[in-house]
Amino acid sequence: MLFLIVTSYLIGSVSFAVIVSKVMSLPSPYSYGSENPGATNVLRSGNKLAAALTLLGDGAKGFVAVHFIPAWISTITAARIDLDFMAGFALLGVLFGHIYPIFHSFKGGKGVATTFGGLVALDFRLGVSVLFVWLIVSLIFRYSSLAAIFSAVMAPLFVFLLLQDAQLTWVVFLVAVILISKHYTNIINLMKGVESKIGDKNKKI
């Protein structure tokens, strides 16, 4: 279990916001907007391609950690394990890596795209359900943070209804709590009416 979590954590520690920005000669995502190394903040640079690549990269590392690492460990150890439960812990590991990346002085993003990729790996229906919630909320209110919070709230419920796995539901519930806690500042800004909307450029929040 420790090896699973550490491996997933290291995968999560790879920041695609930083990598993409360097490759495309853009300012560091730590230097503008919310100073958050995530796709939404990279979009504030005005480069939609960079934001899209960041989103894909962050989602992909969640998918890889959750889909491949537990199965690989099961193969090399030849042990009988609950793959879904192990996948839940892989999701926790990759999320913590994204939020507190060892390769970037433990200053990471909020983990929304990475969590989404992990949920898709758990079950495609989970990913579709959570994405639907995010899209509806973001289209109506145009706040990425609000959409992420609503999606996090609904994720454990979707796990319970679709997979009917109590242990995994509790793990995803913990993931949801972590995601919401990382949006504390956004919640305050939403209450004050000063939260940046999707597409805002270089606004300090």
Rounded alpha-carbon distances, angstroms, from residue 63 to 76, 90, 106, 194? 20, 10, 21, 33
What's the pLDDT at 106?
95
Predicted TM-score (pTM) of this structure: 0.91
Q: List C-alpha distances in Å: 153 to 117, 158, 176, 205.
A: 17, 10, 6, 24
SS3 37: coil
SS (H, E, C) 68-93: CHHHHHHHHHCCCCCHHHHHHHHHHH
Tens place of pLDDT per residue across the chain (205 aa): 788 999 999 999 999 999 999 999 999 999 998 888 999 889 888 899 999 999 999 999 999 999 999 988 888 876 667 788 899 999 999 999 999 999 999 999 999 999 999 999 999 999 999 999 999 999 999 998 999 999 999 999 999 999 999 999 999 999 999 999 999 999 999 999 999 887 665 544 4
Distances (CA, A) of 8 to 13, 63, 169: 9, 10, 19
